[in-house]
Chain A
Amino acid sequence: GQNIDQPTEMTATEGAIVQINCTYQTSGFNGLFWYQQHAGEAPTFLSYNVLDGLEEKGRFSSFLSRSKGYSYLLLKELQMKDSASYLCAVKNDYKLSFGAGTTVTVRA
């Protein structure tokens, strides 16, 4: 079975840093994705981790520990446009299994 957990909501101030954690217990693992989804829009790709460690891409970084079944997405220098839902997804062979998503609200 697949169990992917992430917090439901987080609130942070513009310019701050927010870390969204994702823990997973899955029957297989071929990588972990993070997607951003604004209300009413398509999920858009943010990052992909298949090996342990930190991947940095501009203001966004993602970390993976396969032995702990743990990942986080780090959003730095928060902007108002970063208010969205962030989806953690585990890849097993061809299939992506998603957590319920974390809604991030950025306050001025």
Chain B
Amino acid sequence: GAGVSQSPSNKVTEKGKDVELRCDPISGHTALYWYRQRLGQGLEFLIYFQGNSAPDKSGLPSDRFSAERTGESVSTLTIQRTQQEDSAVYLCASSLQNYGYTFGSGTRLTVV
């Protein structure tokens, strides 16, 4: 596609439920990143994919968070047993050879 697409754009979920966030990167971009942005704060790195492999998962805050990527394309970030502190905007970015990062508009997650 022309840009990075994320869905849903907004998600309200009850505490304890699981959520899946989707990212469609720019076609041909081999690198994909997930970031979290809490209100009034900077972007916090979560995970990096090169192709379908994730050589750096160091930013995932707990084992409730997981992500996968298939077909060197779509990626899904899953948060299990959501907590209120998970409320944030989750941003996805893709790049070609780790240069020229393009961000999606994000998924705003609200846990109530």
Number of A-B contacts (CB under 8 A): 49
Give the nearest-CB partner of B31 in chain A: A94
Shortest distance between the CB of A91 and any CB in chain B (Å): 8
Q: Is the CB of A42 within 8 A of B101?
A: no
Q: A42-B4, A42-B91, A43-B91 are in contact. Are A33 and B42 (CB under 8 A)?
A: no
Q: Which of A87-102 contact B (CB under 8 A)?
A: 87, 89, 91, 93-101
Task: Encode A27-52 as 1/0 by CB contact (under 8 A) with B.
Answer: 00000010100001111110000000
- Interface residues of B, count at CB 8 A: 24
Complex: how many Å from CA A99 to CA B40? Answer: 11
Q: Is the CB of B42 within 8 A of A87?
A: yes
The A interface is mostly helix, strand or loop, or mixed, namely strand
- B residues neighboring A (CB under 8 Å): 4, 31, 33, 35, 40-45, 48, 50, 56, 91, 93, 98, 100-106, 108
